[in-house]
Amino acid sequence: HVQLEESGGGLVQAGGSLRLSCTASGRLFSDYTMGWFRQAPGKEREFVSAITGKDFRIYYGDDVKGRFTINRNNAKNTLYLYMNDLRPEDTAVYLCAATFVTDDLYRDREYHYWGQGTHVTVSS
């Protein structure tokens, strides 16, 4: 079992940057593939990015490629999401999630554990 806690959200102007963090407690962090999802009001949860536990394979959703960067520090049990060139359409609650799975990582149903989320608001 692992517990996840996100931080780093806030209000930013379009074109700005934010860094989100997700701290994990519990079982060995490097065993997990970690993912970021987001959910805007009235919309379905959307895959943002994922990174596997030990070989650090990385995946991005089409809407964030080239603007967002995922990274993890297994020694610190922490996952990061660096978000640049933010747009109003990036406004959402951002959630981190953990799974033992290493395929189909864009599917939220593959993830076993979820954080509560952190709010990101991008003003135009």
Q: Report the distance separating Cα 101 and Cα 122, nearest Å.
A: 32
More confident residue, 86 or 2: 86
Query: pLDDT confidence of 113, banded at 50, 70, 90?
Result: very high
When pLDDT is averaged across residues 6-30 and rounded to a whole number, the result is 95
pLDDT of residue 101: 87
pLDDT of residue 54: 83
pLDDT tens-digit series, residues 56-88: 999 999 999 999 999 999 999 999 999 999 999
Q: How far is CA 10 from CA 13, 19, 28, 91, 97, in A?
A: 10, 10, 29, 10, 20
Check pLDDT > 90 for residue 26: no
Query: pLDDT confidence of 116, banded at 50, 70, 90?
Result: very high
Q: Report the distance separating Cα 91 and Cα 53, nearest Å.
A: 27
Query: pLDDT confidence of 102, banded at 50, 70, 90?
Result: confident
Q: What is the mean pLDDT of the chain?
A: 96
Query: pLDDT confidence of 27, banded at 50, 70, 90?
Result: confident
SS3 per residue for 30-56: HHCEEEEEEECCCCCCEEEEEECCCCC
